[in-house]
Structure formats: structure tokens, C-alpha cells
Structure 1
Amino acid sequence: MKIKRILNNNALVVKDQDGEKILLGSGIAFEKRKNDIVDKSKIEKTFVMKNSSESQQFEEILETLPEDHIQVSEDIISHAEKELDIKINERIHVAFSDHLSFAIERLSKGMVIKNPLLNEIKVLYTKEFQIGLWAKALIKEKLNIDIPEDEVGNIALHLHTARTSAGSMTQTLDITTMIRDIIGMIEAKLDISIVEDTISYERLVTHLRFAIQHIKAGETFYELDSEMMALIKKKFKKAFLCARQAGEFIKSEYGFEFPEKELCYIAMHIQRYYNRSVSL
């Protein structure tokens, strides 16, 4: 393969019978020029972007961002693919490299990164968060930048979104934000504090995530007969009212509606917390 364009010392563009490709590899373009033959032994990653727009964006990232930032982001992506045993959507190479470089730049200037969804991310995307902690250690080792847990949460979100079936970053953020808002309303309405890092908290957050995903997909996964629903409403009256108020808020803010059966299940989770808080 002949070199068509050099992007940096570790990235270049080639053209063969399959079209244009972006090749990455340590020193793959060092002291090379256009039309030189590529040393295949130095190819570590090959990218064939699905459209010219994605290809241009990736080339721009490779040309403008610091090479050590790009290398670290690619190391994180490779580690994530291995740990999750999946092929991550190629769009992550643009979005994640750009995000990580900007975060590192802000931290190096003493700026603070805050992630209001951190507690929910830890529970919802456990594997991705563990990879984020691995990334934290790598960034410290390679770049001498100590990223906070808030940024670890951001990394986890990017990795989760890059899963083929995970949807867009906007969808991921919407679901996570909805869950945070529901928990905040429960705390405010019942004047209780929902403690993170507990099994009950994890059950509630996980339940809400799967409920939202299934409802969005138009799937029914719980069956409660009218007698059981009536019993829950009567026995857990305060908890059901809280669940209904949270549902009304989510509908007004996000245009997302929980069916009454789901509100009954949420009420049972709320009651569990309420009983615990009263007994303390």
C-alpha cells in the first residue's frame, strides 16, 4: 500500500482496491512521504469509515490533537473492546478522542470537571466504569494527569454509548438523567435520603433503567392484575402517590410516560426505602 496522506507520526491515509483507509501504528509515518510504501509490520489499527464525513472528522482529529492524547484514547478503546468482548462502534474514535483530549486540557489548567450523574453511572454501567478506572491509571502513568471520578464516569458513558445496541449519547444521557430526577423526587417527597452504594439503591436504579428501555422499545415485561395493583395502591398509598408524581414530572419534562403497572413496581421500591428510613 502506498501513502496518500500523512496525518502525524502515528497515523496516515492509504488507498487500495477497497478505497481509502486510515492506518494507525507507532511511528508508522515517521520519516515517510507521500507515495512511500507502508511498512505493514507497523500497522496496529485499520479504519475504513462508512462515509466521507466520518473519515474527514477522524483525519482532523488525528491532525490536530496531541499525539499522546490520541494514543491514550486508542489504548483505552482497545482495552474496552477486550474487556467487554465486543467490537465498539467506530464513531467512538472521533467522539472519544476529542472528548478525552479536551478533558485533559481542562484538568491541566486546573479546571474542575463535575458529573451530576456519577452515582447512577456507577450502578448502570459497572463494567464501563471499571474500564474508566483502568483508564484513570493509564492517563496518570502516560500523561501525569490525575483525572477525577467524575471524568471516569464520562469515560464510562462514552464506552457504553459506543456499544452497537446502546443508542446515541443523547439517549444514554436522557435515561440516566431521568433516573437521577426520579430518585431526587423520591427523596424530596418523602423527606428521606437514598443512600448510594447499597443493594437497595442498585436494585432501584437497575430496575428503572430496564423499565425505561423496555417501555421505549414498546415491550411489556411485567404483569400485574388489577387486584394486585389495587392492593399496592391501598397498602403503599404514600409510596404510590410519590411514584405517580415522579411519573407526571418525567412526562412533562421528557415526554416519557410510565404505565400504571410500572408505577406500582416503582412504588414497591419506594416503600422499601420508606420502611427502612422510618425504622432508623
Structure 2
Amino acid sequence: MKIKRILNHNAIVVKDQNEEKILLGAGIAFDKKKNDIVDPSKIEKTFVRKDTPDYKQFEEILETLPEDHIQISEQIISHAEKELNIKINERIHVAFSDHLSFAIERLSNGMVIKNPLLNEIKVLYPKEFQIGLWARTLIKDKLGIHIPDDEIGNIAMHIHTARNNAGDMTQTLDITTMIRDIIEIIEIQLSINIVEDTISYERLVTHLRFAIQHIKAGESIYELDAEMIDIIKEKFKDAFLCALSIGTFVKKAYGFEFPEKELCYIAMHIQRFYQRSVAR
């Protein structure tokens, strides 16, 4: 393979059997120029040209972002694939590299990164969050910059989105933000403080994610007979009224509807928090 274009010291564009490819590898372009032969032992990752915006954006990122930021980003992606035992959606190479470089730049300048969804992310995406913790050590070792938990949450979100082929970050953010909104409604309507570091909180958040994903997909989750629904409404009046408020909010803000039986399950989770709050 001959070099068609050098993007940086660790990235080149080649022509291989009528296919254009981006090759990544430490020092792959060192002491090289256009039309030189590529050393195969230097190739670590290969990306075949596709007529998509992502491919062109990846080229631009490789040419413009600091090389050490790109290398760190690729190391994190490779570690995530190893830990999760999957091939992550290629779109992450564009979105994540760009995001991480900007985050490093902000932290280097003493700016504070805040993530209002951090507690939900820790519960919803624990494996991805652990990868973020690994990334923190890597970045500290390579750049001497400390990555706060809030940014680790952002890293986890990017990995989760790419892991599940969830398109862009919008869908992942929608679900996580919706859960944060629901928890705020519970706290405000029932005048309670939900402690995040508890089993009950983890169960509620996990249940909500599961329910939202299945309802969005048009799938039925639970079956409750009419008698059980009536019992829940009567026995857990305040919790069910709170669940109804949640249903109204979600329909208005996010455009989909919780069925009544799902609101009953949500009410039962709410009741746990409510009982503990009243008992104090």
C-alpha cells in the first residue's frame, strides 16, 4: 500500500486495491512522504472510505486535533471494546475524539465540567462508567490532567451510545434526562429527598430505563389485572397520583404515554421512598 496523504504522525490515507482507507498506528507516518510504502507492522486500525459525512469528519479531526488527544481517545475506545467484548459503532471515533479533546482543553484551562445526570449514569451504565474511571487514570498518566466524575459520566454516555448503535447522543440523553425529570417530580410532589446511593434508587432508575425503552419500542412489559390496579390506586393513593403526574409530564414533554399498568409499577417504587420519608 502506498501513502496517498499524511494526516498526522499516527494517521495516513492510502489506496489499497481501489479502496481508500485511513490507517492508524503509532508513528505510522514517521519519516514518510506521499507515495512511500506503508510498513504493515505499524497498522493498528483500519477504516475503509465511505461516502458519509462521518468519514470526512474523521479525516478533519485527525488533521486538526492534538495527536495525543486522538491517541488517548483511540486507546479508550480499544479498551472499551475489550472490556465489553464487542465491536463499537465506528461513529464513536468522530464524536468521542472531538468531545474528549474539547473536555481536556476546558479542564486544562481550569474550567469546571458539570453533569446533572451523573447519578443516573452511574446506575444506568455501570460498565461504561468503569471504563471512564480507567480513562481517568490513562489521561492523568499521559497528560497530568485530572478528569472529574462529571466528565467520566460524559465518557460513559458516549460509550453506551456507540455500544448500542443508538444513533447519536440525543436518544441516550433523552432517556437519562427523562429519568432525572421523573425523580425531580417525585421529590417535589411528595416533598421528599431521594438519596441516590441506595438500592431503592438503583431499582427505580433501572426500572424506568427498562420501561421507557420497551414502551418506545411498542412492547408490552407487565400484566396487571383490573383488581390489582384498583388495589394499588387505593392503597398507594399519593404515590399513584404522583405517577399520574409523571405520566402527564412525559406525554407532554417527550411525546409518549405510560400505560396505566406501568404507572402502577412506578407508583409501587415511589411508595418505597415515600414510606421511608414519612417514617423518619
TM-score between the two structures when normalised by the length of structure 1? 0.98
Shift of 1:18: 5.2
Give the Cα–Cα distance (whole angstroms) in 1 for the partners of residues 165 and 190 of structure 2: 36
Which amino acid in 2 is paired with 1:39?
Answer: D
Q: Deviations over 1:105-138 (max 9, x none)?
A: 0110111100000000000000000000100111
CA contact (8 A) 1:243 1:263 kept: yes
In the TM superposition, what are the counterparts of 1:228-239 in structure 2 within 5 Å?
228-239=228-239
Give the Cα–Cα distance (whole angstroms) in 2 for the partners of residues 47 and 190 of structure 1: 53
Residue number in structure 2 paired with 1:278? 278
CA contact (8 A) 2:3 2:34 kept: yes
Shift of 1:163: 1.4
Give the Cα–Cα distance (whole angstroms) in 2 for the partners of residues 167 and 187 of structure 1: 32
In the TM superposition, what are the counterparts of 1:31-42 in structure 2 within 5 Å?
31-42=31-42
5+ long unaligned stretches in structure 2: none
Shift of 1:253: 1.2
Residue number in structure 2 paired with 1:268? 268
Shift of 1:49: 4.3
Give the Cα–Cα distance (whole angstroms) in 1 for the partners of residues 177 and 29 of structure 2: 43
Give the Cα–Cα distance (whole angstroms) in 2 for the partners of residues 92 and 31 of structure 1: 29
In the TM superposition, what are the counterparts of 1:100-115 in structure 2 within 5 Å?
100-115=100-115
1:157 aligns to 2:157 (yes or no) = yes
CA contact (8 A) 1:23 1:45 kept: yes
Which amino acid in 2 is paired with 1:141?
Answer: D
Q: Deviations over 1:135-169 (max 9, x none)?
A: 01110110111011000000000000001443431
Deviates more, 1:226-235 or 1:162-171: 162-171
Which amino acid in 2 is paired with 1:157?
Answer: M
CA contact (8 A) 1:49 1:90 kept: no
Identify if the C-alpha distance between structure 1 residues 58 and 156 changes in structure 2 by more than 3 Å, giving closer, same or farther.
same
Residue 195 of structure 2 aligns to a residue whose secondary structure is: coil
Give the Cα–Cα distance (whole angstroms) in 2 for the partners of residues 45 and 210 of structure 1: 35
Residue 152 of structure 1 aligns to a residue whose secondary structure is: helix
Give the Cα–Cα distance (whole angstroms) in 1 for the partners of residues 63 and 168 of structure 2: 26
Give the Cα–Cα distance (whole angstroms) in 1 for the partners of residues 41 and 33 of structure 2: 17
Identify if the C-alpha distance between structure 1 residues 256 and 201 changes in structure 2 by more than 3 Å, giving closer, same or farther.
same
Shift of 1:51: 2.5
Which amino acid in 2 is paired with 1:191?
Answer: S
Shift of 1:252: 1.1
Residue 221 of structure 1 aligns to a residue whose secondary structure is: coil
CA contact (8 A) 1:11 1:62 kept: yes
Deviates more, 1:265-274 or 1:161-170: 161-170
Give the Cα–Cα distance (whole angstroms) in 2 for the partners of residues 247 and 24 of structure 1: 48
Give the Cα–Cα distance (whole angstroms) in 2 for the partners of residues 165 and 111 of structure 1: 31
Give the Cα–Cα distance (whole angstroms) in 1 for the partners of residues 52 and 5 of structure 2: 15
Give the Cα–Cα distance (whole angstroms) in 2 for the partners of residues 162 and 21 of structure 1: 21
5+ long unaligned stretches in structure 1: none
Residue 162 of structure 1 aligns to a residue whose secondary structure is: helix
Give the Cα–Cα distance (whole angstroms) in 1 for the partners of residues 159 and 153 of structure 2: 10
Give the Cα–Cα distance (whole angstroms) in 2 for the partners of residues 61 and 256 of structure 1: 37
Q: Deviations over 1:45-93 (max 9, x none)?
A: 1112433422211110000000000000000000000000100000100
Which amino acid in 1 is paired with 2:69?
Answer: H
In the TM superposition, what are the counterparts of 1:90-169 in structure 2 within 5 Å?
90-169=90-169
Identify if the C-alpha distance between structure 1 residues 214 and 155 changes in structure 2 by more than 3 Å, giving closer, same or farther.
same
Q: Deviations over 1:14-50 (max 9, x none)?
A: 0112511100011000110111000000101111243
Give the Cα–Cα distance (whole angstroms) in 2 for the partners of residues 167 and 251 of structure 1: 23
In the TM superposition, what are the counterparts of 1:1-280 in structure 2 within 5 Å?
1-17=1-17, 19-280=19-280
Give the Cα–Cα distance (whole angstroms) in 2 for the partners of residues 49 and 236 of structure 1: 58
Residue 3 of structure 1 aligns to a residue whose secondary structure is: strand
Give the Cα–Cα distance (whole angstroms) in 1 for the partners of residues 184 and 172 of structure 2: 19
Shift of 1:276: 1.0
Shift of 1:257: 1.2
CA contact (8 A) 2:19 2:49 kept: no
Number of equivalenced pairs? 280
Aligned-residue RMSD, C-alpha: 1.0
Identify if the C-alpha distance between structure 1 residues 12 and 205 changes in structure 2 by more than 3 Å, giving closer, same or farther.
same
Equivalent pairs: percent with the same residue? 80
Which amino acid in 2 is paired with 1:195?
Answer: V
